[in-house]
């Protein structure tokens, strides 16, 4: 979620017709600009590509801003595509998607009042002693507000944008059609699996009853772990489009960067261990690595966990496949690593021996980190740069272009997000010891 000081008011288009009209107006505007630019280029004797005509700086700004204003599936799909295939996308498309990750709008007061009335009825004010109309944060599906109950308890209330849930499928179809029309999506990458994954994830995240159940499950799973705080679900004020929970005082997780090295290291170690427990013990993972979903309590040293809308069940076969891969990598078993990667779906069938070795070399970079010896310095290490450089080299070999099964994408996203957080905080963690305790 985007924090409150970065938010701008703009009404959310509600209803399928209004949202389709918004997308239609965008497509018409882009098409008009393409026609004009194309005609001008032809008069100059040029024969430009469609992608060059679509992705002018003005169109990039127009497209990103419109998707951000719509929120919902349109904005979420852009974020997912950027995270899952960003290294393989042309810079013009990545420019749009990166803007979607960085910006957000909020509902103006009048629309907020209508959402509260729809969720709680005309007497919604009786449920709260006070309700702060300025949101604490906003994301693609909803925004979060601070409120106080008549009994004096402080709550965080997540309100869903109007019409977003009902328009998920049509939004996705419209955005996918626009992406295909632009000609920017690489033909070598199959968009359908990502679309299917986005569809499932969005319907799940828009189901606040499901999120409330996940919140309660994580609260129970971590009840005995004093390192973490999970908000308590308020059933009496939770509705299909409103999720109420206890407000947990805390600071942004990034403030940990100013704490002592020992405190930083313990916190990051706890988060990495939690990820491993989610995969191998809980078989239940909060998959959104947004930094805003982690908060810090300096007075107690606890980490507050937020936003369980993207919680996913992990099947036993998937968990065991990762354990097999982990063991093979730790044991320097290269044939075992290749077999595990193929079994999970990370390697495209029919690759040449040369390309299989390329994949193996890249995976070896990761396993070197996991083998140790000793603590890993996230800030003082060039591992991420070397991995990114190798990934870009692989990106130049189109035979290797391949998206893994959608059910594995969320795990890769979570791991990558935690690595970035550990680097941002400058932590040093004995990753090898942590991993071996679960292998």
Catalytically active residues, by annotation? 288
Q: How far, in Å, CA of 142 to CA of 129, rounded?
A: 22
Residue 313 DSSP SS3:
strand
**What is the maximum span of the chain, computed from C-alpha positions, in angstroms?**
74
Q: How far, in Å, CA of 298 to CA of 292, rounded?
A: 16
Return the pLDDT at 46: 45
For residue range 183-227, what is the model confidence (pLDDT) as tens digits?
555 565 666 777 787 788 888 889 999 999 999 999 999 999 999
206 within 8 A of 164, measured Cβ to Cβ: yes
Q: What are phi and psi of 101, to 5 degrees?
A: -70, -25
DSSP 209-227: HHHHHHHHHHHHHTTT-TT
Q: How far, in Å, CA of 144 to CA of 138, rounded?
A: 6
Q: How far, in Å, CA of 278 to CA of 1, rounded?
A: 22
CA angle 91, 97, 103 (to 5 degrees): 130
Q: How far, in Å, CA of 74 to CA of 100, rounded?
A: 10
Report how far apart the first and last C-alpha atoms of the chain are (Å, whole number): 33
Locate 64 and state its tokens. 């990103």
Locate 55 and state its tokens. 């992705």
**Segments of the chain with pLDDT less than 50:** 2, 24-51, 53-55, 83-89
Return the pLDDT at 211: 96
The pTM (predicted TM-score) of the whole model is 0.77
Domain ranges of the chain: 2-107+163-205, 250-439
**Residue ranges of the alpha helices (H) in 71-130?**
72-85, 91-102, 109-120
Count Cβ neighbours within 10 Å for each residue of 189-211 and write b for 16 or more, e otherwise: bebebbbebbbebbeebbbbeeb
Closest CA to 10 of 49, 57, 66, 93: 66
Return the pLDDT at 408: 77
Q: How far, in Å, CA of 381 to CA of 365, rounded?
A: 13
Closest CA to 145 of 132, 160, 161, 127: 132
Residue 343 DSSP SS3:
helix
Q: What are phi and psi of 427, to 5 degrees?
A: -85, 155
**Residue 257: CB atoms within 10 Å:** 13
Q: How far is CA 244 from CA 160, 189, 234, 323, 436, in A?
A: 12, 40, 5, 37, 39
Secondary structure element (H or E) that encloses residue 413, with its range: helix 406-425
Locate 322 and state its tokens. 């990762």
């Amino acid at each position: 979620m985007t924090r409150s000081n970065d938010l701008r008011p703009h009404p959310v288009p509600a209803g399928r017709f209004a949202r389709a009209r918004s997308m239609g107006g965008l497509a018409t505007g882009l098409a008009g600009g393409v026609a004009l630019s194309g005609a001008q280029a032809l008069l100059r004797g040029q024969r430009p590509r469609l992608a060059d005509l679509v992705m002018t700086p003005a169109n990039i700004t127009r497209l990103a801003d419109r998707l951000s204003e719509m929120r919902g599936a349109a904005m979420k799909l852009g974020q997912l595509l950027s995270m899952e295939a960003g290294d393989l996308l042309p810079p013009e498309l990545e420019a749009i998607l990166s803007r979607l990750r960085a910006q957000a709008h909020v509902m103006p007061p009048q629309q907020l009042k209508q959402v509260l009335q729809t969720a709680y009825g005309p007497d919604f004010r009786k449920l709260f002693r006070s309700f702060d109309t300025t949101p604490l944060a906003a994301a693609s599906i909803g925004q979060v507000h601070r409120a106080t109950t008549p009994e004096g308890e402080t709550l965080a209330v997540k309100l869903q944008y109007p019409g977003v849930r009902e328009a998920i499928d049509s939004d996705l179809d419209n955005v996918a059609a626009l992406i295909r029309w632009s000609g920017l999506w690489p033909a070598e990458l199959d968009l359908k699996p990502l679309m299917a994954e986005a569809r499932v994830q969005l319907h799940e995240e828009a189901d606040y009853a499901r999120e409330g159940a996940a919140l309660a499950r994580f609260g129970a799973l971590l009840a005995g772990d004093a390192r973490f705080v999970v908000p308590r679900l308020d059933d009496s004020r939770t509705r299909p489009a409103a999720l109420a929970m206890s407000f947990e005082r805390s600071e942004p997780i990034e403030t940990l960067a100013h704490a002592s090295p020992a405190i930083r290291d313990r916190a990051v170690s706890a988060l990495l261990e939690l990820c491993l427990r989610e995969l191998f013990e809980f078989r239940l993972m909060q998959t959104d690595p947004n930094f805003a979903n982690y908060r810090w309590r300096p007075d107690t040293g606890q980490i507050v966990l937020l936003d369980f809308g993207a919680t996913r069940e992990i099947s036993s076969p998937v968990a065991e496949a990762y354990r097999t891969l982990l063991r093979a990598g730790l044991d320097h078993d290269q044939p075992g690593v290749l077999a595990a990667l193929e079994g999970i779906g990370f390697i495209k069938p029919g690759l040449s021996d040369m390309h299989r070795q390329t994949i193996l070399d890249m995976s070896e970079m990761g396993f070197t980190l996991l083998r140790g010896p000793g603590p890993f310095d996230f800030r003082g290490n060039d591992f991420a740069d070397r991995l990114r450089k190798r990934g870009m080299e692989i990106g130049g070999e189109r035979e290797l272009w391949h998206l893994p099964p959608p059910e594995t994408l969320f795990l890769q996203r979570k791991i990558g997000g935690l690595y970035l957080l550990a680097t941002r905080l400058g932590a040093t963690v004995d990753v090898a010891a942590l991993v071996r305790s679960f292998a």
